[in-house]
Amino acid sequence: MKLHHEVPEEKVKAALSEFHGKIYQKPPLRASVKRRLRTRTIYYLDFLEMQERKVLFKVGCEGGTYIRKLCFDIGEVLGSGAHMQELRRSRAGPFTEREALTTLYDLLYHADLKRSRGDEETFRKIVHPMEKAVELIPKIVVRDSAVAAICHGASATAPGVLSLETEIKPRDSVVLFTQKGEAVAFAQASASSEQILAMNHGFVAKTIRVLMDRDIYPKMWRRSRGT
């Protein structure tokens, strides 16, 4: 972050400490989303060093947070004005910089080896399964008999739930999994973890986007007459 006027280091540190937790943010003029006020969570915001008007800090934040807008807002609090000079993304979800060393040329090379020699093992070292990307999202495990219906757009119901993670709240994003650990669909929780555990019937999560192919698990429901 580059300040527009010189500010004492202690004042900068104090300003950064005000941006922990829930913050209100309106996307900047040049943004891919509608410009409306929304809340985002800042998990940590650590001051690293400062040289003249340049401030280096590390931030962990909720997806959809605009760091350039965060820099602007910090500048407003300081009264000096500020803008983002450089951004380095060191992590996105479960993926870190250390896992981002594969180039597109590497991918092309190993994909060719997989096709020509059947080298599946090496290919899988650089191409992770889809489930890796949703590691940090709360999970609900459903019965095999419920998978096909969910793949056709049905919502998850209480009788179809085998297990789930704690601390799920209504409207939270969750991932529906099979007993084998296969991702079935993204969904929105209709109830909390405690409520779901106590339910014998009713919807527990609304399917938002299906991830699994429809034909992997057999249909377990009966068609009504005349269809």
- Cα-flanking dihedrals φ and ψ of residue 175, to 5°? -120, 130
Cβ proximity of 109 and 58 under 8 Å: no
CATH 3.30.70.3190 fits domain 2-88 = yes
- Number of Cα atoms under 13 Å in the Cβ half of residue 87: 13
The domain limits of the chain are: 2-88, 131-210
C-beta neighbour count of 55 within 10 angstroms:
25
CATH 2.30.130.10 fits domain 131-210 = yes
Instruction: Give pTM, 2 decimals.
Output: 0.72
Kindly state the greatest CA–CA separation across the chain.
78
With H, G, I as helix, E, B as strand and everything else as coil, classify residue 46.
strand
Q: What does DSSP assign to residue 154?
A: P
Taking only the tens of pLDDT, the chain with its 227 residues reads 999 999 999 999 999 999 999 999 988 777 777 888 899 999 999 999 999 999 999 999 998 899 999 999 999 999 999 999 999 999 888 888 887 778 889 888 888 888 888 878 888 888 888 899 899 899 999 999 999 999 999 999 999 999 999 999 999 999 999 999 999 999 999 999 999 999 999 999 999 999 999 989 988 766 555 44
